[in-house]
Structure 1
Amino acid sequence: MIRSSVGIGIAAALASATAYGINIVYARMATQQGVSAADLVFLRVFLMLGAVAVVTAISRGALRLPAAGRPAILGLGIASAGVGLAYFFAVSFVPIGVAAIIFYTFPLLILLASPFVDGGRFTLHRFGVFALAFTGLAIAIGPKLGDIDPRGILLAALASTLAAWQFFMASRSGRHVGPQAMMFWSHIVIMPISGAAALLLGGIGWGAIAQAWLPSALTVAGYLAGFALQMVAARRAPAAMVGLIFCLEPVVAILFAGLILGETLSHAQMIGSLLVLAALIASSLAELRREPQPAPVPADGR
């Protein structure tokens, strides 16, 4: 029975990583067709908030938010809004492969920051993994740095940093708030931020969304499916195992960017991406050797 439950969690994690990886491809397609990244974030958060409210009502779940959990929920919502906005805007300036290489270093930032946030010490393994990833980034981006829009690089780096912060805030929120309440209240924080960003850029572009309805719908659907499956994976499989499986997400994003958008990586970018992926796998394998811990569920995946 336990093995069956873990198997379901692993399958859900694989499906979630695939959904998230495809989601960003259609987000880039939508932005290329005139849809604002802020509009996409607002739309998906609006629908997610409605879905969480319906599920909570049906299951009679509690949405109580203890005072002790409010600061972490606020931080989680701000970080989650920033991740979605920064990553979606990044892929409107640079190819998905470049943005993905930078963004998916956030697990390594978590590894680097955890001694400061959760206590502990730096180890040779931590330094080695981070050095490998940094080398991969230098190989992938360095030779063509002058040809890449710096706005996309900075936004992808910001999204990665915020995703690491999101992880720590999700972990702290989970100590005081149940999963449904955490999702609901964090999305309450995300909505006005994404709405304000959309208004600053001229308001919700319903006309552009209607014109690019297919990639917009697939972007939102990929996010909703990925998030729901991530919840299943977090409850049924060890956190380190889920983290290892999610290393496939950038691979899926890059592969589908090639299949759907015709974007391809240069040889240097391919080698650099493989080094970053190797660093991610090495850090996840190290976590697998530790005692399994419950996987925190971020409020806004990608």
Structure 2
Amino acid sequence: MAGEGTATLWAGRTAALISALWLGCTTTLAWLVYDAGGAPMTLVVLRFIFAIAFFAVMLRFSSGGLRLPRQDFGRLLVVGLAISGMTLGYMSSVAYIPVSLAALIFFTFPLMIAALTPWIDRMPLGPMQVFVFALAFTGLAMTLGPDLAKLDWRGVAWALFAAVSITCLLFQSRELMTRHDPYLVLMIANLVGLVVCGSWLLTAGQVQLPSGTLGFTAFVLVGICYILGVTFQFLAVRKAGPADSALFMNLEPVVSVVLAIVVIGESLSWQQLGGIFLVFAALVLSSLSRRRMSRSVQA
């Protein structure tokens, strides 16, 4: 039984890493879309549409049904609203504060999950796990290098709202993904997100598509990366739980920084290199800690 639990944990961690890789690509691709004249909220709404279509097709070929028990409607609504809050909060924050600062505030969500896990899951986090979360956040701060001089309370509030939303998303989605067809959960959750963000877009009236081959290609790739990233993200939560998934998802902004260097030509400082090293060190320490705990249980 212990061996099966370890295999499941590592499957979840691997899914979290894959999710981080795909979602990490969206930041640079989104920059290419905006540079070609596309608007952020237009990209978000069409990303939801792509996801709904994909998950509907996958659901058609899966063994799951289209019906959910009535008692799960509320939880599913919360998941959909959390996806909307995460997207709206993150996109709105960058209108007031630098992207790096918004990303740093957003990635306080692993620390939120670490703090809430003992209360929600009744699984206390040891000193090593707390240290690992703090180490990963320090590495992100060094990698992103935010400009605190451009602090605006509105941007900070939106970014914190996004962080709280994804924290809620990871906790609420685990049970749904375990009990129901994951594609059904993802399809309905993204449908709720489409309704919320689509209403926002229609109210703002800022529908702007990118122009040119590069902008359109990046636009399509953002949708593909989002679909794959969210799918593996939910799979990670299902297999490894919110805490482990959140920790390994810290790799996402690191991927964004590295890809920006390759695609856009941004430079990488020694401070950022040190930050990337700390993030990877946190992941290694977490893996070693879990392996040690698994061996003690088997003994």
> Could you state the TM-score of these two structures normalised by the residue count of structure 2?
0.75
| The one of 79, 101, 106 aligned to 2:104 | 101
Q: What is the distance in 2 between the residues matched to 1:8 and 1:143?
A: 33
Q: In 2 relative to 1, CA 63–113 (structure 1 residues): closer, same or farther, beyond 3 Å?
A: same
| The one of 201, 205, 211 aligned to 1:202 | 205
Q: In 2 relative to 1, CA 162–271 (structure 1 residues): closer, same or farther, beyond 3 Å?
A: farther
Correspondence 1:154-165 to 2 at 5 A: 154-165=157-168
Match of 2:149 in 1: 146
Structure 1 contact 97–254 (Cα < 8 Å) conserved: no
Structure 2 contact 136–250 (Cα < 8 Å) conserved: no
Q: CA deviation at 1:38?
A: 1.6
Match of 2:190 in 1: 187
Match of 1:116 in 2: 119
Q: In 2 relative to 1, CA 164–282 (structure 1 residues): closer, same or farther, beyond 3 Å?
A: farther
Give the secondary-structure state (helix, strand or coil) at the position aligned to 2:68: coil
Structure 1 contact 24–88 (Cα < 8 Å) conserved: no
Match of 2:297 in 1: none
Give the secondary-structure state (helix, strand or coil) at the position aligned to 1:17: helix
Q: Deviations over 1:56-96 (max 9, x none)?
A: 22335302121111111111001111222333444566665
Match of 1:295 in 2: none
Q: What is the distance in 1 between the residues matched to 2:289 and 2:91?
A: 31
Give the partner amino acid of 2:223.
V
Match of 1:83 in 2: 86
- May I ask how many residue pairs the two structures share in their alignment? 287
User: Which deviates further from its counterpart, 62-71 or 254-263?
Assistant: 254-263
Give the secondary-structure state (helix, strand or coil) at the position aligned to 1:119: coil
Q: What is the distance in 2 between the residues matched to 1:104 and 1:287?
A: 22
Structure 1 contact 35–209 (Cα < 8 Å) conserved: yes
Identity rate, percent: 32
Q: What is the distance in 1 between the residues matched to 2:50 and 2:229?
A: 14
Give the secondary-structure state (helix, strand or coil) at the position aligned to 2:31: helix
Correspondence 1:228-243 to 2 at 5 A: 228-230=231-233
Structure 2 contact 79–173 (Cα < 8 Å) conserved: yes
Give the secondary-structure state (helix, strand or coil) at the position aligned to 2:147: helix
1:48 matches 2:51: yes
| The one of 40, 43, 61 aligned to 1:37 | 40
Q: CA deviation at 1:220?
A: 1.1
Correspondence 1:244-255 to 2 at 5 A: 245-255=248-258
Q: CA deviation at 1:43?
A: 0.5
Structure 1 contact 96–253 (Cα < 8 Å) conserved: no
Match of 2:171 in 1: 168
RMSD: 3.9
Structure 1 contact 17–226 (Cα < 8 Å) conserved: yes
Q: Deviations over 1:116-141 (max 9, x none)?
A: 33335565345544554565577678
Q: What is the distance in 2 between the residues matched to 1:281 and 1:105?
A: 20
Q: Which runs of 5+ in 2 are unaligned?
A: 295-299
| The one of 153, 166, 180 aligned to 1:177 | 180
Give the partner amino acid of 1:253.
S
